[in-house]
């Protein structure tokens, strides 16, 4: 029976987009709302600001991820097309190139040549994509998946400070938004680290520290330049 394994790297495609979206949703929306709150505006204005930030941020994340990952996909497609052409027009040179790759990885030349011949006969393009270009199936760019994941997780993250505004007293909004957002960021950072196989405490601290800086600076701007509305 084939030995099955579930490696952490298989999650990279959606995990990166999900963490980026949720992290940005919490930090940017909470920071924006704290900046407005520090300017001594009403809770209604703060809530409206947060909703606008959620909608704009979700769409921005989706568009940014889609364009970025499309660029990666275009690059991969161009490299695959070039490799396809070279395999069709220069098969011997490609075989030698593959042999040298395996020699560089530690095989003796005779064995490296045998492996290159066998793998070329089995699936030359996939072999070159993997061993020469570093393109493997579970790491290939998926623009739509990245865009939808980022938009959805941004919206989920942005909902946290919005809910706080609805529930917390107006006099305590700044503290409530900051505290709830930092708790959410710690949970997010720890969860992402656990899924990725890294240290939970380190992941939580990394996300929280940047979130605290962003919220603190934005609140300071709102306090310095805000006016009573």
- Express each pLDDT in 27-83 by its tens digit: 999 998 888 888 878 888 888 999 999 999 999 988 988 888 888 888 888 888 998
Q: What is the pTM of this model?
A: 0.70
Containing 82, the helix (H) or strand (E) segment is helix 43-89
**More confident of the two residues 15 and 201:** 201
What's the confidence (pLDDT) of residue 191? 79
Q: Please, are residues 150 and 65 in contact by the beta-carbon 8 Å criterion?
A: yes
Closest CA to 203 of 218, 191, 220: 191
Please state the domain extents for the chain.
13-221
pLDDT of residue 190: 82
Angle CA 224–228–229, to nearest 5 = 130
Residue 220 has pLDDT above 60, yes or no: yes
Q: Residue 111: its pLDDT value, please?
A: 92
Give the residue-averaged pLDDT of 98-112: 90
Q: What is the pLDDT of residue 2?
A: 45
Which pLDDT tens digit goes with each residue over 162-184? 999 988 888 888 889 989 999 98
């Amino acid at each position: 029976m084939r030995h099955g394994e579930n490696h952490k790297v298989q999650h990279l495609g959606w995990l990166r987009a999900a963490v980026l979206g949720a992290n940005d949703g919490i930090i940017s929306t909470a920071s924006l709302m704290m900046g407005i709150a520090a300017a001594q505006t009403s809770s209604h204005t703060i809530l409206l600001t947060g909703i606008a930030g959620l909608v704009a941020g979700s769409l921005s994340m989706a568009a940014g991820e889609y364009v970025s990952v499309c660029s990666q996909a275009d690059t991969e497609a161009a490299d695959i097309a070039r490799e396809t052409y070279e395999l069709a027009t220069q098969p011997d040179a490609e075989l030698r190139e593959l042999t040298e790759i395996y020699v560089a990885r530690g095989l003796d030349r005779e064995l490296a040549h045998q492996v290159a011949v066998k793998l070329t006969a089995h699936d030359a393009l996939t072999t070159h994509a993997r061993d020469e270009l570093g393109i493997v199936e579970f790491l290939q760019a998926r623009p739509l998946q990245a865009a939808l994941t980022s938009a959805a997780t941004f919206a989920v993250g942005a909902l946290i400070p919005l809910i706080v505004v609805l529930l917390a007293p107006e006099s305590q909004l700044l503290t409530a938004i900051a505290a709830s957002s930092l708790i959410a960021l710690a949970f997010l950072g720890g969860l992402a680290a656990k899924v990725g196989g890294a240290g939970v405490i380190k992941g939580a601290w990394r996300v929280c520290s940047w979130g605290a800086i962003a919220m603190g600076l934005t609140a300071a701007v709102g306090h310095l330049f805000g006016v009573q509305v």
